Chain A
Amino acid sequence: QVQLQESGPGLVKPSGTLSLTCAVSGGSISSSNWWSWVRQPPGKGLEWIGEIYHSGSTNYNPSLKSRVTISVDKSKNQLSLNLTSVTAADTAVYYCARGDRFPINPTFDYWGQGTLVTVSS
Chain B
Amino acid sequence: QSALTQPASVSGSLGQSITISCTGTSSDVGVYNYVSWYQQHPGKAPKLMIYDIRSRPSGVSNRFSGSKSGSTASLTISGLQAEDEADYYCASYTTTTTVFGGGTKLTVL
Per-residue CB proximity of A27-60 to B under 8 Å, as 1/0?
0000000001010000001111000000000010
Is residue A26 contacting chain B, with contact meaning CB distance below 8 A? no
Question: When the two chains form the complex, which single residue of A38, A59, A105, A109 contacts B57, counting CB atoms closer than 8 Å?
Answer: A109
A61 to B52, CA, bound (A): 21
CB distance from B15 to the nearest CB of A (A): 29
Cβ-defined contact, A111 with B46, below 8 A: yes
- Considering only residues 33-83 of chain B, those with a C-beta below 8 Å from chain A are 34-36, 38, 45-48, 51-52, 57
CB distance from A38 to the nearest CB of B (A): 8
Is residue B97 contacting chain A, with contact meaning CB distance below 8 A? yes
Cβ-defined contact, A107 with B45, below 8 A: no
Per-residue CB proximity of A63-86 to B under 8 Å, as 1/0?
100000000000000000000000
CB-based A-B contact count at 8 angstroms:
68
Cβ-defined contact, B45 with A105, below 8 A: no
A72 to B48, CA, bound (A): 24
Question: When the two chains form the complex, which single residue of B57, B96, B100 contacts A46, counting CB atoms closer than 8 Å?
Answer: B100
CB distance from B58 to the nearest CB of A (A): 10
A104 to B98, CA, bound (A): 6
Cβ-defined contact, A104 with B103, below 8 A: no
Cβ-defined contact, B3 with A106, below 8 A: no
A41 to B89, CA, bound (A): 14
Q: Cβ of A111: which chain B residues have Cβ within 8 Å of it?
A: 45-47
Cβ-defined contact, B94 with A95, below 8 A: no
Which residues of B are interface residues toward A (Cβ below 8 A)?
1, 3, 34-36, 38, 45-48, 51-52, 57, 89, 91-103
